């Protein structure tokens, strides 16, 4: 005998669900929004509860009622003999959906249906079943559409997407299991998994994609992992039919597990999330087939020796929902795309995105896309082949038409000669050490009082404020001569020169915008990529004089816990993280720079799961912090306002207290690196005589800053 059913599912999965239901025995399938109507035998309905990877609920339709008023609902519900479905000593729950002018609240609608059922039981014997909001014996679904109310018995019970292997849901926005299954089916994994050597998810979260992929490949019915179904306590249940289906599913899993499965691997930057994924894998009985470990995107590589078969990389990367998330995540996608192009050529990639603009940053075209919804968020599944034909070429930006270069005046030629001499002295060192951002001139000639830094093929010129005794017109003329000489010597276009006037800073003037272009440039430093902004702020986002200490920390941070105080744009953190730092915390009071630090981390495939960035005043944060660190990098400003003190913070006056506060947070054998750029600074060694202090300033001044050894001072401090 065939019955009428309705199966619901995530939005835009209806077509896939209809195909699946037909394979499981459904007939007369009719797709509708978020579901499929169909007819089937009870045995087929049981099979769907056990084997459907896409449905939420399998609903056995009992009756459809014409609704004219509340009394008509009560009367229609009462026409069903509810004692055939459950007894008075069982519990039940009404799931009500749909609204009308008559029923404007689903809770009220559920109350009306519940009252009618209870009244029927009372009229027949006095006893009535109880209502249970959690874990009821029977779930009844009432759906109101216009003037029709359809009543159904939920054979599934709890939603079928809850397979039983996932319990801890502290992972942010976990993907539902049936959506993961739908994505895998769209990739044809369910039918072609034998064609792949590897399946990989480099941002696996709680492991849902990995587990669903393994369940498909091992021919495991997803319902095998569940403890209970809605029909289990239904009076119309046929245990013999269910036992046969269950026995068959167990045998199929046994056979599936005995065959050779693809190498299924997952990675995530969060150790806590990896623990959760492993627990889920163990509950699914797949610990012998799945491997999950902690790994940053920055260390993502393709397994070797995969023969002629391709690998499939599938992932659901973060896409952000808050304002500003896109800007901070774009570097992550740029890095991910670069890793795929460099490491995974020949692989196939399936990328589930909630933000297509972020996907474009990967610079790889998709050959096919499918629309989905992740809850209420519209998303796309992009299918890619990692072969050069599908890589996007960088757009060639046409340079502005420049006027013919002027003949340099005698004064400009004199400045050009000095610049040329500096370039000749620095070029071999720059080339040998693969340096892309460096200082080439710093007021070498007093009358040309500027600092010039090279960032790739850009020149960043900082004009020191001229004394009042210097004629303003003469100063302007000299700046013009500088701008004429730079393109000639450095061989860069004139529009790649950025000029700023450097005045004495007050309070937090380094945080203040002087422009609003929002343009960033990426420079390479060691193994890291770092973002600089040459236009919008007085400083570019990268203190070039700190290059040696950053690279030193990169080579000494492996396995260490780092605290970066007054972290600015996080370049020290990025270097340490790329050098293998176990974890880090970066603290700065500026929202601008903490956001910048997160972008720098993303650009290098590093996550805030291991490398936290905190917007806070450093001193109060230290007082409340309970963690210990192996390395602390402390680079405070010369002065600033602090919530901790009644007066302004002054580096000369307050450095002893600040250093002692930092020492309190050092682990055994930990090291504090203390730096500042106050030219008249003098460390109070007497007040810190119980500490071991080594002045390492000379070792932290590179060749391009040796003319100005007071650019900063740096000390290595440890406990005696």
**Residue 173 pLDDT greater than 80, yes or no:** no
Strand extents, DSSP E, 386-474? 437-442, 450-455, 458-464
DSSP track, 111-128: HHHHHHHHHHHHHHHS--
Q: Coil, strand or helix: which one is 502?
A: strand
429 touches 703 (CB < 8 A):
yes
pTM value surpassing 0.95: no
**Residue 169 pLDDT greater than 90, yes or no:** no
56 touches 97 (CB < 8 A):
no
Q: Of residues 498 and 515, which shows the higher confidence score?
A: 498
DSSP track, 162-212: --SS-----SSSPPPHHHHHHHHHHTTHHHHGGG-SEEEETT-TTSHHHHH
352 touches 376 (CB < 8 A):
no
Taken in order of first residue, the domains within the chain and their CATH numbers are 2-154 (3.30.2130.30), 177-218+259-390 (3.40.50.150), 404-503 (3.30.750.80), 520-720 (3.40.50.150)
**Residue 251 pLDDT greater than 90, yes or no:** yes
Q: Of residues 494 and 305, which shows the higher confidence score?
A: 494
Helix (H) or strand (E) holding 27: strand 27-32
In the block, residue with structure tokens 């236009």: 535
211 touches 276 (CB < 8 A):
no
- 633 CB contacts (<8 Å, ≥6 apart)? 549, 553, 562, 563, 564, 565, 572, 673, 675
Evaluated on CA atoms 10, 13, 18, 20, the torsion sign reads negative
10 Å CB burial of residue 2 (0-12, 13-18, 19+) is middle
Q: Coil, strand or helix: which one is 666?
A: strand
Q: What pLDDT digit, counting tens, does each position of 77-125 carry?
A: 999 999 999 999 999 999 999 999 999 999 999 999 999 999 999 998 8
Closest CA to 321 of 372, 378, 380, 271: 378
How long a stretch of residues is the chain? 720
pLDDT-wise least confident of 39-43, 260-264, 666-670: 260-264
Closest CA to 101 of 91, 93, 109, 112: 109
Q: What pLDDT digit, counting tens, does each position of 182-210 carry?
A: 999 999 999 999 999 999 999 999 999 99
Distances (CA, A) of 605 to 97, 107, 111, 298: 44, 47, 52, 4
Q: What pLDDT digit, counting tens, does each position of 590-642 carry?
A: 999 999 999 999 999 999 999 999 999 999 999 999 999 999 999 999 988 75
Tokens of 641: 């306002």
151 touches 133 (CB < 8 A):
no
Longest dimension (CA), the chain: 113
Q: Coil, strand or helix: which one is 583?
A: strand
């Amino acid at each position: 005998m065939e019955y009428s059913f309705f199966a619901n599912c995530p939005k835009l999965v209806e077509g896939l669900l209809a195909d699946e239901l037909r394979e499981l025995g459904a007939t007369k399938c009719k797709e509708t929004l978020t579901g499929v109507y169909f007819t089937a035998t009870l045995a087929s309905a049981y099979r769907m509860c056990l084997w459907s990877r896409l449905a939420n609920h399998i609903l056995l339709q009992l009756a459809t009622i014409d609704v004219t008023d509340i009394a008509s609902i009560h009367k229609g519900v009462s026409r069903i003999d509810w004692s055939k479905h459950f007894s008075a000593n069982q519990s039940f729950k009404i799931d009500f959906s749909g609204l009308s002018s008559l029923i404007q609240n689903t809770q009220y609608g559920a109350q009306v249906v519940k009252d009618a059922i209870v009244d029927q039981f009372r009229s027949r014997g006095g006893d009535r079943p109880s209502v249970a909001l959690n874990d009821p014996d029977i779930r009844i679904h009432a759906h109101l559409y216009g003037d029709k109310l359809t009543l159904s018995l939920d054979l599934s019970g709890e939603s079928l997407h809850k397979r039983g292997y996932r319990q801890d849901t502290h992972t942010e926005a976990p993907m539902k299991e049936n959506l993961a299954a739908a994505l895998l089916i769209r990739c044809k994994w369910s039918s072609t998994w034998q064609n792949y050597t590897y399946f990989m998810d480099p941002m696996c979260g709680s492991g849902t994609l990995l587990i669903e992929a393994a369940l498909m490949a091992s021919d495991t019915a997803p319902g095998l992992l569940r403890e209970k179904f809605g029909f289990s306590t239904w009076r119309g249940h046929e245990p013999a039919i269910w036992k046969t289906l269950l026995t068959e599913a167990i045998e199929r899993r046994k056979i599936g597990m005995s065959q050779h499965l693809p190498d299924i691997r997952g990675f995530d930057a969060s150790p806590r999330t990896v623990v959760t994924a492993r627990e889920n894998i163990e509950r699914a009985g797949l610990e012998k087939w799945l491997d999950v470990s902690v790994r940053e995107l920055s260390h993502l590589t393709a397994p070797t020796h995969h023969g002629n078969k391709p690998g499939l990389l599938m992932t659901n990367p973060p896409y952000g929902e808050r304002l500003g998330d896109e800007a901070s995540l774009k570097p992550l996608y740029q890095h991910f795309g670069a890793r795929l192009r460099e490491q995974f050529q020949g692989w196939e990639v399936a990328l589930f995105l909630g933000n297509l603009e972020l996907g474009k940053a990967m610079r790889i075209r998709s050959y096919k896309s499918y629309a989905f919804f992740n809850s209420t968020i519209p998303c796309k599944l992009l299918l890619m082949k990692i072969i050069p034909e599908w890589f996007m070429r960088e757009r060639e930006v046409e340079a502005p038409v420049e006027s013919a270069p002027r003949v340099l005046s005698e004064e400009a030629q004199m400045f050009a000669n000095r610049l040329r001499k500096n370039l000749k002295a620095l070029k071999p060192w720059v080339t040998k050490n693969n340096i892309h951002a460096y200082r080439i001139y710093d007021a070498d000639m007093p009358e040309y009082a500027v600092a010039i830094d090279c960032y790739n093929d850009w020149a960043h010129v900082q004009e020191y404020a001229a004394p009042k005794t210097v004629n303003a017109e003469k100063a302007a003329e000299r700046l013009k001569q500088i701008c004429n000489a730079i393109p000639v010597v450095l061989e860069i276009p004139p529009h790649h020169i950025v000029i700023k006037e450097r005045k004495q800073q007050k309070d937090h003037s380094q945080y203040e915008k002087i422009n609003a272009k929002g343009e960033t440039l990426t420079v390479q430093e060691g193994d890291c990529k770092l973002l600089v902004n040459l236009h919008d702020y007085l400083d570019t986002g990268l203190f070039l004089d700190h290059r040696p200490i950053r690279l030193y920390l990169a080579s000494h941070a492996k396995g260490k816990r780092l605290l970066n105080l007054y972290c600015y744009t996080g370049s020290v953190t990025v270097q340490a993280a790329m050098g293998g730092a176990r974890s880090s915390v970066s603290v700065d009071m500026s929202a601008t720079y903490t956001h910048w630090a997160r972008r720098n981390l993303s650009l290098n495939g590093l996550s805030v799961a291991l490398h936290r960035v905190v917007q806070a005043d450093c001193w109060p944060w230290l007082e409340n912090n309970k963690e210990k660190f192996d390395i602390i990098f402390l680079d405070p400003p010369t002065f600033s306002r602090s919530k901790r003190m009644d007066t302004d913070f002054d580096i000369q006056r307050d450095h002893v207290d600040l250093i002692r506060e930092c020492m309190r947070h050092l682990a055994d054998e930990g090291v504090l690196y203390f730096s500042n750029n106050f030219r008249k600074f003098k460390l109070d060694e007497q007040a810190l005589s119980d500490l071991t202090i080594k002045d390492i300033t000379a070792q932290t001044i590179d060749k391009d800053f040796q003319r100005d050894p007071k650019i900063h001072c740096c000390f290595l401090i440890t406990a005696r």
